[in-house]
Amino acid sequence: MTDTDLVRKPRAARVVAAAAGLTPLERTGVALVTAVVLFCVVTPFLPLYAPYAQDLSRAFVPPLTDAAHPLGTDMLGRDLASRLALGGLVSLGIVLLVVVVNAIIGMVVGLLAGYHGGRLDNVLMGWADVQLAMPVILVLIALSAAVGPSVWLMVVTLAATYWVGYARVARGTAMTLRAWPRPTSPCSTSATSARRRGPWSPRAPGSSRRAPTPWCSAAPASQGST
């Protein structure tokens, strides 16, 4: 199945066609991720107990034995399904925020390094190598011990660390685009600009007709004499 066939089909058909091309292991991974996301998003809207509500008389309820507590309770009688959903929402929010910040930082650094090159490229990519050598877990533990546990501290630390992959991809793309040949001849430059505008130039002031765009038909005089 080609990409053109997927574009022409409706969105639901494209999703089904794309899923049909996955391996069984990939389908299992997609199904598990979808189930976790749906559980974290839908569970807070179900009529379950609050994540922080305690009931010592119903402590250590086994899973799948009580309709009010589908996943059971902990030592303080708190509903485990609500607590898992709350923790999942926090984790998904952190992951989404970290990925967005990492992508922005990585693309900006990679594009600057790949487009300008030279000393700036060496400095930025050297900084990226330092980031790769930094033990993130140890940094998180040290910062948590010094400042205290915080969700925003985790977000900032992860966002300032895992941008290197995006930067390398953006740098490679920028270097590839910079290496493409560019038209240097005035003839090719004028022809390219004329093709972009079309066969007719913009309407001149005080005129009701559009003048044809002049096409370059001869090479510059400097190229003819050697």
Query: pLDDT (tens digit, 9 = 90+) per residue, 86-96?
Result: 889 988 989 99
| Euclidean distance between CA atoms 130 and 4, whole angstroms | 43
Check pLDDT > 50 for residue 201. Answer: no
Alpha helices in the chain (DSSP H): 3-8, 11-20, 24-42, 80-116, 118-133, 136-147, 151-159, 164-178, 186-197, 221-224
CB 105 within 8 Å of CB 163: yes
Q: What is the pTM of this model?
A: 0.63
Percent of all residues in the chain with a pLDDT value above 90, rounded to a whole number: 21
